[in-house]
Amino acid sequence: MVKGDAVKLLQSEEVVENLEGKVDLIITSPPFPLNNKKKYGNKIGEDYRNWFIGLAPVFSKLLSEKGSLVIEIGNSWEPERPVQSLLHLECLLGLVNHPTSELRLIQEFICYNPSKLPSPAQWVTVNRLRTVDSYTHVWWIAKSDFPKADNSKVLRPYSKSMKKLLEKQEYNSGKRPSEHVISGDGFLKDHGGSISHNFFELESLDEKRDVRLPHNVLSYSNTNSNDYFLKKCREKNITPHPARMNKGLIEFFIEFLTDKGDLVLDPFGGSNTTGYCAELSSRKWISFEIDDSYIKQSKIRFQDPKISPPKKVHRNDSK
């Protein structure tokens, strides 16, 4: 983990020489384009747009030809108006249309969080003019139309109905009202699970429905009480980084878009969830963070027994 301004450091001659074309996945949640300044640092308005679009040539130069860039970003609102801003869309368009880069949007994912606090508060809880802004965008971007990817590595467990169908080896095939034609054997082969969707539920939308997470993802919840990092932060009376990227998202994209030994980079590391997930999955990683306090608390993650199992003490009974 490197302390400093990632954008400046990643353009330095030494870093470019060592990393150019070698990064297999850049995954990050940059400071969101909020109207109010946060402790972790964020630009606003036109400054944010210019800063964000300026990341395109930096990231493009670092990525390998088959590498991917995954960015999570939230919505923003016009200052003092109940009107949603187009800033995040302008940022996306500016990023993929940058004249000196080769980036293109491969697919958009939506990350829905039903426990998110009512936002924007002025127009949701005070004046009650708008509904709760409860999701973030996750953009999968790459230099090639065919970046490294394998959706068979992030399969979800089959639903109960699909398991029954596989047991029976029959179903109602034929033409549907939508005019789609379902073949007679298209759903009879067991592939080990169903293909993941581009919609992530941080908590289940339906309590009666089983949560079917990809096999490599333990949880999408950022408030998991069993989380080692959060438990240790409470014990040490440390306030954790307020905008941690979701572990489940990172685990999903690391498994989906990289292989063991590949290099993963997070330019806005915060408390270094990316480094932790990369370490767990046997990927090489580099994270950057400008705030020393977040770097210090990130060390807690690497005391997790999942990464550093306690050493066994061997007794020598002959002494």
pLDDT per residue over 260-279, tens digit each?
Answer: 999 999 999 999 999 999 99
Q: Is the pLDDT of residue 128 over 70?
A: yes
Q: Is the pLDDT of residue 8 over 60?
A: yes
pTM of the entire predicted model: 0.85
State the sign of the Cα–Cα–Cα–Cα dihedral 70, 112, 212, 248.
positive
pLDDT per residue over 83-113, tens digit each?
Answer: 999 999 999 999 999 999 999 999 999 988 8
What confidence tier does 318 reach under pLDDT thresholds 50, 70, 90? very low
DSSP-assigned letters across all residues of 19-59? HTTTEEEEEE-PPP--SS--TT----HHHHHHHHHTHHHHH
Residue 94 to residue 252: CA distance in whole angstroms: 26
Q: Is the pLDDT of residue 226 over 80?
A: no
Which pLDDT belongs to residue 40? 42
Report the pLDDT averaged over residues 7-22. Answer: 93
Q: Which two tokens stand for residue 273?
A: 């969830």
What confidence tier does 312 reach under pLDDT thresholds 50, 70, 90? low
- Which residues belong to CATH 3.40.50.150 in the chain? 2-156+196-303
**Rg of the chain taking only CA atoms, in angstroms:** 22
List, in sequence order, every residue forming a beta bridge with 72; answer none if it has no partner: 138
pLDDT per residue over 280-290, tens digit each?
Answer: 999 999 999 99
Which pLDDT belongs to residue 289? 94
Q: Is the pLDDT of residue 24 over 50?
A: yes
The answer as to CATH 2.30.40.10 being correct for domain 2-156+196-303 is no
Q: How many residues does the chain have?
A: 319
pLDDT per residue over 61-84, tens digit each?
Answer: 999 999 999 999 988 888 899 999
Which pLDDT belongs to residue 76? 86
Which pLDDT belongs to residue 190? 72
Residue 222 to residue 165: CA distance in whole angstroms: 34
Residue 32 to residue 54: CA distance in whole angstroms: 15
Which pLDDT belongs to residue 319? 36
DSSP-assigned letters across all residues of 207-271? TTSPP---TT-----S--TT-HHHHHHHHTT----TTPPPHHHHHHHHHHH--TT-EEEESS-TT
Q: Under 8 Å CB-to-CB from 90, ≥6 apart: which residues?
A: 49
Q: Is the pLDDT of residue 317 over 50?
A: no
pLDDT per residue over 140-151, tens digit each?
Answer: 999 999 999 999
